[in-house]
Chain A
Amino acid sequence: MPRINKSVILALLTVTSSVFLLFQLYYYKQYLSKDGVRNFNSLSANDAQWQVVKKFLDLVGRHNLPVYLIDPLTLGLLTPHTQQLKESDSKGPSCKYFCALREFTTFALLAKLWKYDSALARSAAEKGFEFLELRGKDPRLAGMDDLSGTEIPLHFIFKLQSHAVHLVVFYERSGNYLWHGPLRLKPNMDRKFVPFRKLDFGHQAGAYDRPELLLTSIDGLEMRIPKNVSRFLGEVANSRFLECRYKEARAFYQLYPDDTSQEAVQFRKNAKTLLHLAARTLSSLGMRFWLSSGTCLGWFRQCSVIPHSKDVDLGIWIKDYRSDIIPAFQRAGLSLKHKFGKEEDSLELSFQAQDVKLDIFFFYEEEDHVWNGGTQAKSGKKFKYMFPKFTLCWTELVELKVQVPCETMDYIEANYGKSWNVPVKTWDWKSSPANVQENGVWPVGEWDEVIQVY
């Protein structure tokens, strides 16, 4: 019997153990790259968020729900560079966005692209999610007529352990914008289900322009995000939406039946066209505006244009003033009727369309109030209209998304006094407003500049 060589045995053993080691390494690599670090003891709370988001995306993918990321914190962290679609990096040291210690990640869903059914709730439960659905009244049925349908889904919460995905449902509305509803818990709901107060969306209803979406990869997860992130984030800060007060408007029309004469119908038609044109023009200039004076009163009191109002009134902050506003409107087909005041004081522009005038009042901000000015052409007298400070909210009028002062009642009462609910057919801008004050007179030398009538 030949004696077995010691070195041969050694060599054999080495080879076997190396093969075994290589096999282990190979298997480890395979396993690792498959589902992430589920079985690793080093699992920390940071990974939990990523896991939940991934599970959520798998779930919505299976149900063909076209969601997109609207989480302000996460979007804020993205730089333009990372928005390109690249190779999926596996989640590892490059987990930058979904690994912060947070309670929520927020996504959006366009209701129009999804047929709602109860299968989603069941699949969510199967995947281990605790699922909450919040419904509310459909605002698209709100109007001068009293309509009611079944409640529509407004918000979904998918909770898994310590993290939750908040899915906000957006509805398309006339006026070419997206609307989402406020998140209101019904009496029997568990208020401690998730820390609702920390949600980024849902404290109030919100309005957004329809965003263009981009498919991208964040932390190895493929998802859609708004293409213009900074613009979207700007909208988030300014998104509060107010529904028109239809109930009060109906009550108003009970007391004061609507004017349905030819003239009224024609005026409303012209006013609508003019408002749309003004909105387009100002938007192209990037100038914020809101409904002011009679136009604001019409929205607030009766959810429509006041037939005897004679013009369309808008307000703009003087700090947003741009001198190319005049040529812009002229290019749009309006002619400048008068220009009163100057940028430093009491600026006011008036443009003429076919049969309606567009009055633009520029508002000046003081410490504890704001004001806009008026000028009487023939005497050079100046007038000042004071208002309490206000913020701006979105709403809808004549199929257009427009802004109004959020504190509308205060604004209207300042302008029209307590009897704003009573129609006044003869209005004198010099004396009728409740907040008008005489403000001196322009020096004659300045008249050429501050009183321009065409």
Chain B
Amino acid sequence: METPRRPQSGRKVLDIEVYSSRSKVYVAVDGTTVLEDEMREQGRGIHVIVLNQATGHVMAKRVFDTYSPHEDEAMVLFLNMVTRGRVLIFTIKDEGSFHLKEAAKTLLKGLGSQVSLSLSWRDMWTLVVKKGGQVYGEKHSKSPALSTWGDPVLLKTEVQLTASEDAECLWSDTEMNRRRKIFCSKVEGYGSICSCKDPAPIEFNPDPLAENNVYDVPVAVIAGNRPNYLYRMLRSLLSAQGVNPHMITVFIDGYYEEPMDVVELFGLKGVQHTPISIKNARVSQHYKASLTATFNLHPDAQFAIVLEEDLDISVDFFSFLSQTVHLLEEDESLYCISAWNDQGYEHTAEDPALLYRVESMPGLGWVLKKSLYKDELEPKWPTPEKLWDWDMWMRMPEQRKDRECIIPDVSRSYHFGIIGLNMNGYFHEVYFKKHKLNTVPNVQFKKVDGLKKDAYETEIQRLLGEAELLDHSKNPCEDSFIPDTEGKTYIMYIKMEQEADSTTWTELAKCLHVWDLDVRGNHKGLWRLFRKKNHILVVGSPVSPYS
């Protein structure tokens, strides 16, 4: 092994190699490859690596597909968040200029690039620069013709490391700042929590909850490798009223460092799980391992709160659960309590104090009863070779056994994940973006015990009694179907021949822009939602007992 060179100043010097070409990119730091991508059909665009200027360690790795639109904006945002003094390495794979707009090019120029303004179609380019400092090297090769790529470019340069003090901020010495220091010297891309002046808080002191019935309920956060999502989620979780950080455990599906760093930044407990199987079966096995471990870590707990890394949590999430958890204890006909209303969009959800019983299991922030898990679900959880979605499995009649979940009209969680196994930008746009999240603190729910099995039927009968029939000669998809009133209750009937007949409901759901991929949110053939601030009862006839 070569001994590191030490010139007069005595500081180590890093050898950096950066390669840019049509089909392959790589970056090597002192002989160690920190980035290598020669897979076809992936990794196109500008790859960015951030090194710690005192240790040479990789702090962040990103790729921005600036061939496609909007990625350059994301790159600008990211670069603006990186702390001054870090070493930035850029390299293009395949094509990175098509949607690299002025703003991004100017930013790169501001960093020190001589060629960014002239980057064009299928050019190859590498750059090593210190943010707010010198340029260590830059190489560029133009593509000679539209149909060809520029020649591959290999940049070899040296970067001298600085003293560690130069790479750190001088925050006051508290337990919290010690965690911050460890995090900020390892990871980049989290913006102002690493600012020397006025760093963003990592400890939140939300109001405690009087009579908190879920203070001792363990919270399991099921996570994968989306650390920036995890960061956003934990921030909202730790800001919710009545949260008990000691009961939170984050379960990471794999030995990924950055999510674990985020967990430790907030001073929480993290557990890593050796992944088993593939695709949705891998997720399902991870859920099982996490839930089993949760009840092992907290043997006295009768419930567990299950969350995921791509959810925003409402400020009254724990207050909501505290007011409703006793129902799960007392009513055998309940399967879960969930914070998510599948049909709760900005235009269909109104009343933060309203609760429903539904025959679906929404997940996305829910309470699992220990006896249900230990006695029924765990013993027959799908084995690793079954490529099933855990939540679809839980919704099957063999598991659900005709039990229902309690949900709020206005959801207490918001699903923000765009990247994921089952997600993409379009899917998010259509089904998740306009979902309503409650922002009112300390909501007191109305008549919670009225959600028990028999009491709920009484309530439905009362609603049926006071509901006005809508004019069925009009088109239900039109806004004019609902009169211009507020606060009234209306009823409409849709055709539903048998239990499995979802044709009419699906049509209606589609035109109302609510969830239409499968039937959710019904209770004995009845759906409840709001339109133009009126409460609408949708009854499937003749199947529903309310028809």
- Flag A118-133 by CB within 8 Å of B: 1 or 0 each: 1000000000000000
Contact B299 A172 (CB under 8 A): yes
Q: Is the CB of B299 within 8 A of A174?
A: yes
Determine the chain A residues whose CB is within 8 A of the CB of B379 once the complex forms. Answer: 265, 268-269
Complex CA gap A176/B296 in Å reads 11
B window 221-257: CB within 8 A of A: 246, 249, 251
- B418 contacts A by Cβ under 8 Å: no
Option from B269, B272, B274, B383 in Cβ contact (under 8 Å) with A260: B383
Q: Is B2 an interface residue (CB 8 A)?
A: no
Distance between Cα atoms of A115 and B383 in the complex (Å)? 37
Q: Which residues of B contact A117 (CB under 8 A)?
A: 175
Choice from A148, A149, A150, A174 contacting B295 with Cβ under 8 Å: A174
In the assembled complex, the CB of B515 is this many whole angstroms from the nearest CB of chain A, namely: 32
Interface residues in A145-180 (C-beta closer than 8 Å to B): 145-150, 172-176
Identify which of B34-42, B158-166, B286-294, B322-330 touches chain A.
B286-294
Of residues 243 to 288 in B, which have CB atoms within 8 Å of A's CB atoms?
Answer: 246, 249, 251, 269-274, 276, 285, 288
Interchain CB contact under 8 A, A140 and B293: yes
B5 contacts A by Cβ under 8 Å: no
Flag if A148 contacts B272 (CB, 8 Å). yes
* CB closest chain-B residue, reference A138: B297
Q: In the complex the two chains form, is B274's CB within 8 Å of A146's CB?
A: yes
Check A115 against B246 for contact (C-beta < 8 Å).
yes
How far is B420's CA from A345's CA once the two chains are assembled, in angstroms?
A: 67
Known: A146-B273, A147-B271, A149-B271. A173 touches B296 (CB 8 A): yes
Q: Collect the chain A residues with CB atoms within 8 Å of residue B271's CB.
A: 141, 147-149
Tell me if B288 and A399 are in contact (CB < 8 A). no
| Interface residue? A433 (CB, 8 A) | no
User: Is the Cβ of A149 less than 8 Å from the Cβ of B270?
Assistant: yes
Which of chain A's residues have a CB closer than 8 A to the CB of B380? 260, 265
Task: Say which residue of B292, B374, B383 sits within 8 Å of A145 (CB atoms).
Answer: B292
A143 within 8 A of B: yes
Indicate if the CB atoms of A147 and B300 lie closer than 8 Å: no
A147 touches B269 (CB 8 A): no
Residues on the B chain within 8 Å of A138, using CB: 297
A269 CA / B376 CA spacing, docked (Å): 9
B198 at the interface (CB under 8 A from A): no
* Partner pick for A399 among B175, B273, B293, B374, CB 8 A cutoff: B374
Asked whether, in the complex, the Cβ of B270 is within 8 Å of the Cβ of A150, the reply is yes
Residue of A at shortest CB range from B249?
A: A149
Report whether B269 and A145 are in contact in the complex, using a CB–CB cutoff of 8 Å.
no
Give the nearest-CB partner of A115 in chain B.
Answer: B246
Task: State in angstroms the CA–CA spacing of A118 and B295 once bound together.
Answer: 27
Let me know if B375 is at the binding interface, CB within 8 A: yes
Within the assembled complex, what's the spacing in Å between the Cα atoms of A147 and B251? 9
Residues of A within 8 A of B375 (CB): 269
Q: Min CB distance, B105 to chain A, in Å?
A: 45
Q: Decide: A145 and B299 in contact? CB cutoff 8 A.
A: no
Residues of A within 8 A of B251 (CB): 147
Residues of B within 8 A of A141 (CB): 271, 293, 296-297
Q: What's the tally of chain A residues with a CB closer than 8 Å to chain B? A: 25
A258 at the interface (CB under 8 A from B): yes
Assembled-state Cα–Cα distance A179/B299 (Å): 12
Please tell me if the beta carbons of A143 and B273 are within 8 angstroms of each other in the complex: no
Q: How far is the CB of B369 from chain A (nearest CB, A)?
A: 16
Contact check: which of A143, A146, A265, A268 meets B296 at CB < 8 Å?
A143
The reply on A445 being an interface residue by CB < 8 A is no
Which chain A residues border B273 with CB–CB below 8 Å? 145-147
Q: Which residues of A contact B295 (CB under 8 A)?
A: 174
Question: What mask results when residues 342 to 379 of chain B are scored 1 for a CB within 8 Å of chain A, else 0?
Answer: 00000000000000000000000000000000110001
Asked if B374 and A147 sit within 8 Å, CB to CB, the answer is no
Bound together, the chains give a CA A182 to CA B296 distance in angstroms of 19
Which chain A positions have C-beta within 8 A of B292?
Answer: 143, 145
Provide the residues of chain B in CB contact with A268, threshold 8 Å. Answer: 379
Q: Does A257 contact B (CB under 8 A)?
A: yes
- Min distance, Cβ A265 to any Cβ of chain B, angstroms: 5
Among A141, A149, A257, A258, the one with the most B-chain Cβ atoms within 10 Å of its Cβ is A149
A172 contacts across to B, CB distance below 8 A = 299-300
Report the bound CA distance from A145 to B253 in whole Å: 11
Question: B296 to A257, Cβ gap below 8 A?
Answer: no
Most buried by B among A118, A138, A145, A176: A145
**A260 — nearest CB in chain B belongs to which residue?**
B383
In whole angstroms, how far apart are the Cα atoms of A148 and B269 in the complex? 11
Residues of B within 8 A of A145 (CB): 273-274, 276, 285, 288-289, 292-293
**What per-residue 1/0 map shows which CB atoms of A75-112 lie under 8 Å from chain B?**
00000000000000000000000000000000000000
Docked Cα-Cα span, A173 to B375, in Å, equals 18
Q: Is the CB of A150 within 8 A of B269?
A: yes
A176 to B300, CA, bound (A): 8
Contact of A176 among B274, B288, B299 (CB under 8 A): B299
Contacts of B374 in A (CB 8 A): 399
Complex contacts, A150 vs chain B, CB 8 Å = 269-270
Who on chain B is nearest to A140 by CB? B296
Query: Within the assembled complex, what's the spacing in Å between the Cα atoms of A268 and B375?
Result: 10
Most buried by B among A140, A143, A173: A140
Question: B282-322 toward A: CB 8 Å interface, digit per residue (1/0)?
Answer: 00010011001101110110000000000000000000000
CB distance from B339 to the nearest CB of A (A): 26
Q: How many whole Å from A136's CB to the nearest CB in chain B? A: 15
25 of the cross-chain contacts (CB-CB < 8 Å) are: A117-B175, A118-B175, A138-B297, A140-B296, A141-B271, A143-B289, A143-B293, A143-B296, A145-B288, A145-B289, A145-B292, A147-B271, A147-B273, A147-B274, A148-B271, A148-B272, A149-B271, A173-B296, A174-B295, A176-B299, A257-B383, A258-B383, A265-B379, A268-B379, A269-B379
**Additional pairs, 7, CB under 8 Å, beyond known A118-B175, A257-B383, A265-B380:** A145-B292, A147-B273, A150-B270, A172-B299, A176-B299, A258-B383, A269-B379
**Which chain B residues have a beta carbon within 8 Å of chain A's beta carbons?**
175, 246, 249, 251, 269-274, 276, 285, 288-289, 292-293, 295-297, 299-300, 374-375, 379-380, 383
- 3 A-B pairs closest in CB distance: A145-B289, A146-B274, A149-B271
